[in-house]
Amino acid sequence: MEKGKSVSLVLSSGGARGLAHVGVIEELEKRGYHIAEIAGCSAGALVGGMYAAGKMDEFKDWICHLDRLDVFSLMDFTFSSRGFIKGEKVYNALKKVVKDCQIEDLNIPFYCNAVDYISGKEVIFREGSLYTAIRASGSIPTVFQPARHHRYELVDGGVLNPVPLSLLRKSDENMIVVVGLNAGDSELVVPPKKDSTGKSYISIPTWVSDYRDKMRQYFPEQVKEEKPASLSSISLMTRSFDLLQDRFSALLIEKHEVDISVQIARNQAGTLEFHRAEELIEIGREKAIQALDKWENENS
């Protein structure tokens, strides 16, 4: 396999936006690229792990059939101050679709990371249970409860290393493709109304449209000048952390010699909007087409 077609793939953290990774991988495959290794973080660990296990089709079929109510039902809420979602229910449901396996037995070399919040050290998974690694890597602080693994209390790998280029082992042999999920609004794209087969994502019954039009005749929408909403202390802290992570992600990419960088805007979707799977997959595909076209034209 020539270097130009052999890929070391890095999939960053980013919650539900990580479903865009699926579209990027599908576009790479369509163009004949061979993914030689995968380094993933959080959502990138989930998608990368499913692909490395050869179970992308099963995973995609499952996630694309979840609506908003399904996603909500998979959230095992708790009153714990360590995180308001236990995080076990969704993985137990996914295990019924894709069985657990050992990382060292995967079809493609796969690595992901988490952080021991007590010591502050990065923990890297290169072997052992795939779901143990994915669960730990995606333990978003204050959202999902930390994952217990041996003597560790683990949280999302994105806390220390959201774009885990450092985990790669064959980067000298391959071209490096990075998919980032925390870019600025300049990378925002208008969500597609239809998927690649022409199927509409949103179908509004005729009676709803008629009712809405009639109501507008009697109750025209009022244009109000609203003052910008002030941030609460928690929102301000979260926003500040996001800005720090966004800049850190950009610095990590700048530090390494990355061949292709596919960037998805942070505001493209919320952290838990997994019901938008089909839409986000198509956005990932669209962004991959743009990045790959540019690289191939420059290197032809």
Cα–Cα distance, 112 to 97 (Å, whole number): 21
Residue 274 exposed, middle or buried by CB count within 10 Å (0-12, 13-18, 19+): buried
- What is residue 51's DSSP assignment? H
Contacts of 272 (CB under 8 A, 6+ apart): 15, 16, 71, 75, 143
**What is the token pair recorded at 166?**
């450092």
Respond yes or no: is residue 12 known to be catalytic.
no
Where do we find the tokens 């579209």?
Answer: 23
Kindly name the residue from 116, 137, 156, 261 that is annotated as catalytic: 156
Cα 201 from chain centroid (whole Å)? 20
β-strands 110-116, 152-156: how paired?
antiparallel
Cα–Cα distance, 274 to 16 (Å, whole number): 5
Contacts of 55 (CB under 8 A, 6+ apart): 98
Respond yes or no: is residue 156 known to be catalytic.
yes
Q: For residue 92, how many C-alpha atoms fall within 13 Å in the half-sphere facing its CB?
A: 8
Kindly name the residue from 42, 139, 171, 249 that is annotated as catalytic: 42
Cα–Cα distance, 40 to 42 (Å, whole number): 7
* CA gyration radius, the chain: 20
Asked if 274 and 60 touch (Cβ cutoff 8 Å), the reply is no
At how many degrees (to 10) do helices 43-52 and 130-137 cross?
160
Q: Which residues are catalytic?
A: 42, 156
